[in-house]
Structure 1
Amino acid sequence: MLPASRIMYVECKSGGLEGPACIARVAFSKSGRSVYFRGRLLQRLGGQGFKANFVDPDTRVEYWVSGPKRNGRDRLYASGTVAIDEDVLEEYWLTIRGNPECSGQGTYRC
């Protein structure tokens, strides 16, 4: 059986409070303590991170992973461009944002 997957907002925190962000499909481990994102294993920090909730155990780079907001205001701090992975583009704009006219748009600003 394949792990459960879901479209999520993922922001890399390697540069501090804000970093590169994307909307991507992640797969959850059976326990829910880990996610698989673009071939990386991210482990839950369990409240130990500063504005991050997952960490790459190999690189120690921290990430913020959360469900995408319908209004597109996903970033914790500041504003910036959010990339949308091509494989989730249509589903994101149709089912999450409810904005089918943007279904070909691969980025947005928040």
Structure 2
Amino acid sequence: MAERIMYVQLKTGYNTDRGPAWIARVEFSRSWRSLTFHGRRLQRPTGTAYANFDSNFVDVDTGEEYWVSGPKRDRTDGRYSSQQPVVDDDAREAYEAFLAGAPLPGREHG
């Protein structure tokens, strides 16, 4: 499984970009169609059942929708809000190095 540091935001139950958000380590499946985050298994939605432009992953157990993307150096991760994410302890060192200009782990070559 490929491990990445990603921006993750819960969308279900919150107005646009008001849900809790994290900078966290996630593990992607070999196909990159699912990932594990905080013990949850998130999967890319298929079909029209999840035709929400505001989310790109769905919790397979609860149906909650999430937005998952790579973090941005300018900290504008929330698309419509300046709310800052919680940085998980196990991602903090690599994320701070990324903010200072280093590549993210696993993304050294693009």
TM-score range normalised by the length of the shorter chain: 0.7 to 0.9
Q: Following the alignment from structure 1 to structure 2, what is the Cα–Cα distance between the partners of residues 48 and 5?
A: 27
- TM-score, structure 1 normalization: 0.81
Identity among equivalent pairs (%): 50
Matched AA of 1:64: W
Q: Which amino acid in 1 is paired with 2:61?
A: D
Question: Is 85-94 or 13-22 further displaced after alignment?
Answer: 13-22
Looking at structure 1, the residues matched to 72 and 84 of structure 2 have their Cα atoms a distance apart, in angstroms, of 15
- CA distance in 2 between counterparts of 1:57 and 1:29 reads 14
Gaps in structure 1 of 5+ consecutive residues: 100-110
Q: Is the aligned partner of 1:50 residue 2:49?
A: no
Between 32-41 and 12-21, the greater mean CA deviation after superposition: 12-21
Tell me by how many angstroms 1:91 deviates.
0.9
Question: Whole-Å Cα distance in 2 between the matches of residues 28 and 56 of structure 1?
Answer: 14
Partner residue in 1 for 2:100 = 98
Shift of 1:26: 0.3
Instruction: For residue 4 of structure 2, give the secondary structure of its aligned residue in structure 1.
Output: strand
Q: Which runs of 4+ in 1 moved over 3 A?
A: none
Residue of structure 2 equivalent to 1:24: 24
Structure 2 residue matching 1:89: 3-state secondary structure: helix
Identify which of structures 1 and 2 has the higher relative contact order when contacts are C-alpha pairs closer than 8 Å and 6+ apart.
2
Aligned residues: 97
Report the Cα distance in structure 2 between the residues aligned to 1:50 and 1:42, rounded to whole angstroms: 16
RMSD over aligned Cα, in angstroms?
1.7
Shift, 1:48, TM fit: 2.5
